[in-house]
Structure 1
Amino acid sequence: MIGKVVIGTVLVAVAIQFIPYGKTYTNPPVVAEPTWDSPRTKELFNNACANCHSNQTIYPWYSKVAPVSWLVANDVDEGREHFNVSTWGFQKKNKGDEAAKELKGGDMPPWFYLPTHPEAKLTESQTQELITGLEKTFGKEEGEGNEGKEEK
């Protein structure tokens, strides 16, 4: 009985590798980027945010194994849909003004991302530096005491 369960599990694990969702590991082209307030903001953003919020995703080895590949593809797709610096000015729902707020609230980067991406774990001072840089680059969300900044 246990042998059949193991064999069945192995067969299912192999079979799901052929389900195509998340199997494309090429990035779309970079269409446009924002005018960053400083190279340091861009560097911090690239370390902590760019894998999901740009067209320059670096896919780790485990992102090629289902069902993890499905989760990674979904997270990248969702991140790019909400905020993508590689399509700046061309994406209708680019929520750059919310970027600093998400970071301030501890919502970004997600907790499950950090164990496998140590470069995204910023110190408290780096986090504050990135928040300030994001606010200078993208403006503050409406109602945060800033009239907002136009998309570039």
Structure 2
Amino acid sequence: MNMKTVSIAVILGAVAIQFIPYGKDHTNPPIMSEVQWDSPRTQELFNRACADCHSNETKYPWYSNIAPVSWLVAHDIEEGREKMNVSMIGVQTKNKLKDAADEVKEGEMPIPPYLIAHPEARLSDAEKKELAEGLEKTFGVEEK
């Protein structure tokens, strides 16, 4: 196979995958409940660093319309909402919510790919501590 044939195949493949609908539905499910945050600051930090994947108030960026990136975005949102969704308080177990502070403390959240695309979500060490403490006050502490 020559380079021209490979290039054409790659371009056709890239165009063809745009017609796969997964990751293109950018409607947010209804909000089932509102969180009673311990403080406006906790809510601000959560909204800045967590809400896109852990609530039903996702703001979809332009690149979430382009496959295969749209597939990754959709997967991360689905997984994030399954693990913790503040729009589903009362429907989702309290234990999932209690894990959140540990995830922030251990540097596991927000995930690195999200931070690359959303530098505003990058939290300083002091902000991580502040958010973790606020999450503990809001949702309780995970029992070890």
Question: Normalised by the shorter chain, which TM-score bucket?
Answer: over 0.9
Q: Distance in 2 between matches of 1:120 and 1:139?
A: 23
Q: Which has the higher helix share?
A: 2
1:42 — aligned with what? Answer: 43
Asked if 1:53 is matched to 2:58, the reply is no
Q: Is the 8 A contact 1:83 1:93 kept in 2?
A: no
Distance 1:93 1:38, change over 3 A: closer
Q: 1:91 deviation in Å? A: 2.3
> What is the aligned partner in structure 2 of residue 82 from structure 1?
83
Sequence identity of aligned pairs in percent? Answer: 62
Residue 123 of structure 2 corresponds to which residue in structure 1? 122
Number of the residue aligned with 1:148: none
- Does the 8 Å contact 1:114/1:121 carry over to 2? yes
Answer yes or no: is the 8 Å Cα contact 1:82–1:94 preserved in 2. no
Contact 2:26 2:60 in 1 (8 A): yes
- Structure 1 unpaired stretches of 5+: 144-152
Deviations 1:27-85 (A, max 9, x none): 11111022110111001000000000000111111111000100100000000011000
TM superposition shift of 1:92: 4.2
Q: Which structure 2 segments of 5+ residues have no match?
A: none
CA contact (8 A) 1:83 1:96 kept: yes
> Pairwise CA RMSD of aligned residues?
1.1
How many aligned residue pairs are there? Answer: 143
The residue aligned with 2:64 is 63
When normalised by structure 2's length, the TM-score is 0.95
Q: What's the TM-score once normalised by structure 1's chain length?
A: 0.91
